[in-house]
Structures are given as C-alpha cells and as structure tokens.
Copies of this chain bind each other. A is one copy, B any other.
C-alpha cells in the first residue's frame, strides 16, 4: 500500500520519534511505500487564515468555508495545502501519529486538518436530498482508504478506562476517529495507544515495538470500526438522528457503532 504518515512531535529523539522511525522502517520492509509528513520538521503553518487562498486581496469578508472552496476549486490554494492533498489522494492509508496533549492532538496537527481538509475536498461534497445528506460519514473522497491513529499519553490505562477519570479513550478519540476520519470516508482501524510514556524503558520499548509491529503486519486485513453510514437509512434526513428502532433509548457516541 501507499501509506501517508502524518506525524507531530517536536523532538525527533522522543518516544514518538522512535515509534515513527520504527513504523516507517517496519512498513517499508513489509513492502509498503511510506510517505511522511513530519509537521514540526516541515514547520507546518497551523492557523487557517485568508492567506491560505491566493485571492485574499479581493475578499471583503473572509469566510473560511467559501474561501476554501473557491481556492480549492480554482487551483488557488497555498502550495503547502495542495501538496498534502496530493499526498492524501495517492495514499491508500493514512496514519496519524501524535502525543495526546490535553485530550486531543497537538495544535500543529489540528492545523493540518483545519487547512488540508478544504471545502470541496474533505467536506461540502455530494448532493443533499431527501435520502442523502452529502457524501460524509462513510462516503466521500477518502472512501476506500484506511486510517489509523498511533497515540501516546502520559496517563495510565486505567485513567482512560471505561470508568476512568479522563474519560474512555475510545470516546476521547471519537471526535478524531469518527469526526475527522470517518467523516470524509476513511475506514478507521482500532487505534494503537501507548499509556504511561514516562515509564517506557528499553524492555518496555521493545515490547511496544513488538505489539505495534504485529498491528502493522495486518493493516490490510484488520476489521475497521463499524459505524453506521450516514446515508444508509440508519439516520433520519435531514435531522440526522439515529432511527428510533436502532439502539432504542440509548444516547452518546457508542450508539453509532453497528452492534
């Protein structure tokens, strides 16, 4: 496969840096082609603004969505944005690798999403009708591609357990896995999560690489997380609420999983 690894950590000699190097070499040895967007090394511009389109002088009032659609549709995007979109287009799989900072991705990676996910590219696509509400949540430009998160955190696994004080890791990752990856059509594999990074010594690191390597060996066969597709009939349109006979009486992120 062609794999795009988008990676955000400020220190190459960090645990994240080592796991990134391991991932690249492991996948390459397995015959995959790996392209890396090392956001800190690239000095990636994080803040979406009017300079992201080439037409900014004509804009009386900058609207992020319409400006992004205009720039995308007319080839006027900043070169850095267009280059990342081309990487996505030629990838069969996207890996996002980052340390969990304040229960989400580092700002520089959020800025990769904010800017590369242009209107007309990752959202604002597809028709809206009585039975179809845009190509999203299982449909879209990324349909047929796979995605996976590799994330590290200083907290213990129990702090992220179903009853842990931080909230369950699957729920904390829902805005990313469902909202950022499933939305434009990626099939999302279960995440690889490293807990308690402060306690990773050499034996633990070797164990982590062993576990990660086993996950990477089966990325083409692993069953993705099975969420309901938005336009499959599971949701009312245009309200986009889950049909009452599916998970009746239940609420929250887990109801969107197909049992």
Contact = CB atoms under 8 A, between A and B. Distances in A.
Interface of A: 10-11, 13-14, 40, 44, 46-50, 61-65, 99, 101-108, 110-111, 113-114, 117, 137, 154, 156, 158-159, 161-168, 171-172, 174-176, 178-180, 230, 235, 238-242, 250-256
A16 to B, nearest CB: 10
Nearest to A117: B102
A177 to B, nearest CB: 10
Contacts of A99: 64
Contacts of A50: 10-11
Nearest to A47: B108
Contacts of A165: 137, 230, 235, 240-242, 256
Contacts of A163: 241-242, 250-251, 255
Given A102-B179, A162-B252, A167-B174, 7 more contacts: A10-B48, A10-B64, A103-B176, A158-B240, A165-B230, A168-B252, A252-B252
Contact of A63 (B11, B107, B164, B230): B11
A48 B108 CA distance: 8
A180 B114 contact: no
A6 to B, nearest CB: 14
A241 B175 contact: no
Nearest to A183: B102
Given A180-B103, A253-B252, A10 B62 contact: yes
A173 to B, nearest CB: 10
Contacts of A179: 102-103, 166-167, 172
A241 B167 CA distance: 9
Contacts of A238: 156
- Sorted nearest first, the 6 A-B pairs with minimum C-beta distance are A107-B111, A103-B179, A46-B46, A162-B251, A103-B175, A107-B110
Contact of A47 (B40, B117, B174, B175): B40
B107 A102 contact: no
Nearest to A105: B110
Contact of A10 (B44, B46, B47, B256): B47
Contacts of A255: 163
A90 B165 CA distance: 29
19 contacts: A10-B48, A10-B62, A44-B47, A48-B107, A101-B114, A102-B175, A103-B175, A103-B179, A105-B110, A162-B251, A163-B250, A163-B251, A164-B239, A166-B240, A167-B174, A167-B253, A168-B252, A171-B171, A175-B175
